[in-house]
């Protein structure tokens, strides 16, 4: 169990940049299975979750080479269509391999995926989507066996715009004979990145970024090189880290269009923001103001930023109300923030945060990826020393976060064990 020791009270200052997107890299890496050739990916964040995707690719028979942020995948000779259970348990995104393997072979065996404990996180929408595409699904001893002679293109209307289900249906249908339409599709930027990647690989998909995606099946794909988009949640995390410490930074390599709801909330809380094409300057006010947050599917305020911004609201002037509309159990980290002096009340999917002047360093436990990052940020602002334990959660999703923050003047020590 590794931990971060944070000496709080240092204002962040200087320049940093945003790494490649975790949530775009993971489905794109899974999608490489569909290409019976070479996929070269650039700007892939060097984190635990992308490493796990590489392990799954290798277990399927792909040859994978990684050099810093470049990953080269040779999927010409895949020999298996079963995803090993111990790798499925490591992360939620392992489930996206199901669509890719189905699309290539018409058969896949997998088990229920693991991932952060932020709610029940079923995969019923993924499986309903596969069934609509003519796939027969059998469940036996925790394994899910999906099989079809041929994927049958159709129209699929999702009950909820699930990011993962949208991605899985896209991947399962790109090699089908005919046109598949996803209605009420997720509109997240990562879906656009997946579409752009697949089209560069020879697929014919349009509509990503809107709520209707049309996939015209093609008979073959081709070798591809692709540069992954910047991580919008990391961008938001670095901006909020600056705000919570009363700092002032320049953030580079950012896609501003992806983070408008985050920028708007930072402005509402009193931060001065200047936008350039791929850069943001942020200057925190003397005292942040309380703001209300409601998480929504994109283009609403992202659920992955809910815990991050909550850390900031704990020391803002006034009372903030957060409503979490996506996941039913995403407030565990608030109990840890209370140990640092935060004044918080949870009522169902609403959290009420009464801002206080200071948080105080103590020992806290990361309970999930973004909740863990929220504790790290609280530690940056707190008086004294904060010890965040269980940071494996944070290392899953952020590339060199402690190094980036230390380069901006933070004092964070990574204790590996």
* Binding to ligand UD1, residues 176-205 (CB under 6 A): 186, 190
Q: Is 230 in the site for ligand UD1 (CB under 6 A)?
A: no
Helix (H) or strand (E) holding 126: helix 124-132
Q: Is residue 174 within 8 Å of 215, Cβ to Cβ?
A: yes
Dist. CA 220–CA 19, nearest whole Å:
32
Which one, of 387, 371, 359, lies nearest residue 117 by Cα? 371
Question: Omega into 149 within 30° of 0, i.e. cis?
Answer: no
Q: Is residue 8 within 8 Å of 382, Cβ to Cβ?
A: yes
CA atoms within 13 A on the CB side of 304: 21
CA 14 from chain center: how many Å?
26
CA 123 from chain center: how many Å?
17
Q: Which residue is nearest to ligand UD1 (CB)?
A: 164
Q: Please report how close the Cβ of residue 23 comes to ligand UD1 at its closest, in angstroms.
A: 3
Q: Is 32 in the site for ligand UD1 (CB under 6 A)?
A: no
| Region of 102-110, 157-165, 312-320, 399-407 interacting with ligand UD1 (CB under 6 A) | 157-165
Respond yes or no: is residue 116 known to be catalytic.
yes
Of the pair 23, 75, the CB lying nearest ligand UD1 is at 23
Pick from 10, 92, 181, 258: which binds ligand UD1 (CB under 6 A)? 92
Q: Is 333 in the site for ligand UD1 (CB under 6 A)?
A: no
- Grouping H, G, I as helix, E, B as strand and the rest as coil, residue 253 is coil
Q: Is 119 in the site for ligand UD1 (CB under 6 A)?
A: yes
Dist. CA 177–CA 83, nearest whole Å:
26
Which one, of 241, 232, 194, lies nearest residue 213 by Cα? 194
Q: Please report how close the Cβ of residue 121 comes to ligand UD1 at its closest, in angstroms.
A: 5
Integer-rounded Cα radius of gyration of the chain = 21
Number of neighbours of residue 233 by Cβ within 10 angstroms: 24
| Region of 5-13, 161-169, 371-379, 403-411 interacting with ligand UD1 (CB under 6 A) | 161-169
| Region of 123-131, 253-261, 285-293, 310-318 interacting with ligand UD1 (CB under 6 A) | 123-131
Of the pair 190, 336, the CB lying nearest ligand UD1 is at 190
Q: Please report how close the Cβ of residue 52 comes to ligand UD1 at its closest, in angstroms.
A: 11
Dist. CA 175–CA 249, nearest whole Å:
46
Q: Is 394 in the site for ligand UD1 (CB under 6 A)?
A: no
| Region of 162-170, 247-255, 350-358, 386-394 interacting with ligand UD1 (CB under 6 A) | 162-170
Strands (E), 310-349: 319-323, 343-347
Dist. CA 232–CA 250, nearest whole Å:
15
Q: Please report how close the Cβ of residue 365 comes to ligand UD1 at its closest, in angstroms.
A: 20
Take residue 138 and report the two structure tokens written for it. Answer: 């059998």
Pick from 97, 327, 393, 398: which binds ligand UD1 (CB under 6 A)? 327
Pick from 60, 73, 125, 375: which binds ligand UD1 (CB under 6 A)? 125
Q: What are phi and psi of 404, to 5 degrees?
A: -60, -45
Dist. CA 161–CA 330, nearest whole Å:
19
State the catalytic residue, choosing from 116, 146, 271, 314: 116
Q: Is 164 in the site for ligand UD1 (CB under 6 A)?
A: yes
Q: Please report how close the Cβ of residue 37 comes to ligand UD1 at its closest, in angstroms.
A: 25
Q: Is 372 in the site for ligand UD1 (CB under 6 A)?
A: no
* Binding to ligand UD1, residues 297-326 (CB under 6 A): 303-304, 326
Q: Is 165 in the site for ligand UD1 (CB under 6 A)?
A: yes
Q: Is 132 in the site for ligand UD1 (CB under 6 A)?
A: no
Supply the residues annotated as catalytic: 116
> What residues make contact with ligand UD1 under the rule CB under 6 A?
23, 26, 92-93, 119, 121-126, 160, 162-165, 186, 190, 303-304, 326-327
């Amino acid at each position: 169990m590794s931990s971060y020791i944070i000496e709080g009270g240092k204002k962040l200052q200087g320049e940093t940049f945003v790494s490649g997107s975790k949530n775009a890299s993971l489905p794109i890496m899974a999608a490489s299975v569909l290409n019976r050739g070479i996929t070269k990916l650039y700007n892939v964040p060097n984190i635990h979750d992308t490493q796990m995707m590489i392990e799954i690719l290798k277990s399927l028979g792909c040859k994978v080479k990684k050099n810093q942020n470049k990953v080269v995948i040779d999927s010409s000779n895949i020999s298996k269509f079963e995803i090993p259970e111990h790798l499925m348990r490591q992360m939620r995104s392992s489930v996206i391999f199901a669509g890719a393997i189905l699309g290539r072979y018409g058969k896949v065996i997998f088990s229920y995926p693991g991932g952060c404990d932020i709610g029940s996180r079923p995969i019923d929408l993924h499986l309903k989507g596969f069934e609509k595409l003519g796939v027969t699904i059998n469940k036996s001893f925790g394994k899910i066996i999906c099989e079809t002679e041929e994927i049958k293109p159709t129209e699929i209307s999702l009950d909820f715009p699930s990011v993962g289900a949208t991605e899985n249906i896209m991947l399962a249908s790109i090699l089908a004979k005919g046109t598949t339409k996803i209605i009420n599709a997720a509109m997240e930027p990562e879906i656009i990145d997946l579409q752009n990647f697949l089209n560069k690989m020879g697929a014919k998909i349009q509509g990503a970024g809107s709520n209707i995606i049309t996939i015209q099946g093609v008979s073959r794909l081709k070798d591809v090189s692709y540069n992954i988009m910047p991580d919008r949640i990391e961008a938001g995390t670095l901006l909020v880290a600056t705000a919570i410490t009363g700092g002032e930074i320049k953030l580079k390599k950012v896609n501003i269009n992806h983070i408008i709801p985050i920028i708007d909330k930072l402005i509402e809380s009193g931060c001065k923001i200047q936008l350039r094409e791929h850069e943001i300057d942020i200057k925190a006010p003397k005292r942040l103001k309380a703001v209300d947050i409601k998480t929504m599917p994109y283009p609403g305020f992202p659920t992955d930023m809910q815990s991050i911004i909550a850390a900031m609201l704990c020391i803002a002037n006034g009372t903030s109300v957060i409503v979490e509309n996506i996941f039913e159990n995403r407030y565990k980290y608030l109990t840890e923030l209370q140990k640092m002096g935060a004044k918080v009340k949870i009522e169902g999917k609403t959290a009420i945060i009464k801002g206080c002047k200071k948080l105080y360093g103590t020992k806290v436990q990361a309970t999930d990826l973004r909740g863990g990052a929220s504790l790290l940020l609280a530690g940056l602002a707190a008086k004294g020393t904060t010890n965040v334990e269980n940071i494996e959660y944070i290392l899953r999703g952020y590339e060199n976060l402690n190094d980036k923050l230390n380069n901006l003047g933070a004092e964070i020590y990574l204790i590996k064990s």
